[in-house]
């Protein structure tokens, strides 16, 4: 089973974090040679991710299992345990009749994961190359041992999230896009498709609605959370799908 990469050079990360200002860190980076944006890199087509988390709000019961298992799996790998998928209360969601029958009065929700953008701005603004593409799965992920928490990736992400006051878990991270800052681990974090897991993304595997659909208890021709291949067609559909009130898909990617 693949494991997250070992820390590259903790002393370098510590040095950069100690820089007095972002500009000082940037100058230091040029001096030691790091560098996405310092080398003049610009967004371009990148190896597509093998999958992308594709949610269906009409099947979501707001149980937060996806958020909890996401945190648990990443913590087990020594990574930040902030949830990389967020669930929001959404009174505009049309709940599927099969869910209303199986889970009466559960409420209305929608899910907001990272879209694994084909041309991912986050990859090209990181001054320390902490944003990388995992070779086997194509997942866009953050090397937390390298990240200096400058926040450029979060600012570059073209997909904002819904106002956190509507978060079903009632937690706030001062999150504005699909990339989160974890003040405890002092790192940025995003969905990495659980690339080290043989079973793929834990949220897809452990969603209780998905489990009941697979067992035939709930009749549906698709799952609440899926991980289809990230083809141009799939991504274009997901990009449109991920347009919510207060969270427009700005479409820079």
Please tell me the total count of domains within the chain. 1
Structural domain containing residue 106: 10-241
CA distances to 83, 217, 237 from 206, rounded to whole Å, are 14, 15, 24
Instruction: Note whether residue 246 is domain-resident.
Output: no
Instruction: Note whether residue 1 is domain-resident.
Output: no
Q: How much of the chain exceeds pLDDT 70, in percent?
A: 78
Instruction: Note whether residue 247 is domain-resident.
Output: no
Instruction: Note whether residue 2 is domain-resident.
Output: no
What does pTM read for this prediction? Answer: 0.80
Among left, alpha and beta (phi > 0; psi -120 to 50; other), residue 138 is left
Instruction: Note whether residue 14 is domain-resident.
Output: yes
Instruction: Note whether residue 253 is domain-resident.
Output: no
pLDDT, one tens digit per residue, over 160-219 is 999 999 999 999 999 999 999 999 999 999 999 999 999 999 999 999 999 999 999 999
Is residue 228 predicted with pLDDT exceeding 50?
A: yes
What is the Cα–Cα distance from 93 to 91, expressed in whole angstroms? 6
Residue 96, number of CB atoms within 10 A of its CB? 18
Q: What is the average pLDDT across 90-111?
A: 95
3-state SS, 159-184, equals: CECCCHHHECCCCCCCCCECCEEECC
């Amino acid at each position: 089973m693949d494991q997250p990469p070992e820390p590259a050079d903790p002393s370098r990360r510590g040095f950069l974090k100690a820089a007095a200002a972002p500009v000082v860190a940037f100058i230091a980076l040029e001096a030691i040679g790091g560098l996405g944006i310092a080398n003049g890199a610009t967004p371009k087509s990148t190896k597509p991710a093998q999958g992308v988390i594709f949610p269906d709000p009409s099947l979501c019961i707001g149980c937060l299992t996806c958020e909890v298992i996401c945190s648990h799996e990443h913590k087990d790998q020594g990574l930040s345990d902030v949830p990389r998928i967020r669930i929001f209360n959404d009174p505009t969601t049309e709940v599927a009749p099969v869910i209303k029958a199986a889970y009466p009065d559960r409420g209305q929700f929608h899910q907001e994961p990272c879209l694994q953008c084909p041309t991912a701005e986050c990859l090209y603004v990181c001054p320390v190359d902490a944003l990388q593409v995992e070779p086997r799965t194509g997942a866009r992920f953050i090397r937390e041992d390298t990240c200096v928490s400058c926040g450029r990736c979060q600012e570059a992400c073209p997909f904002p999230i819904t106002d956190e006051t509507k978060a079903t878990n009632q937690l706030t991270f001062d999150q504005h896009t699909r990339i989160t800052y974890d003040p405890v681990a002092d790192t940025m974090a995003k969905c990495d498709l659980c690339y080290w897991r043989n079973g793929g993304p834990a949220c897809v595997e452990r969603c209780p609605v998905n489990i009941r659909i697979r067992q035939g208890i709930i009749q549906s021709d698709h799952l609440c959370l899926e991980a289809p291949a990230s083809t141009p067609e799939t991504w274009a559909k997901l990009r449109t799908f991920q347009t919510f009130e207060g969270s427009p898909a700005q479409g820079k990617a």
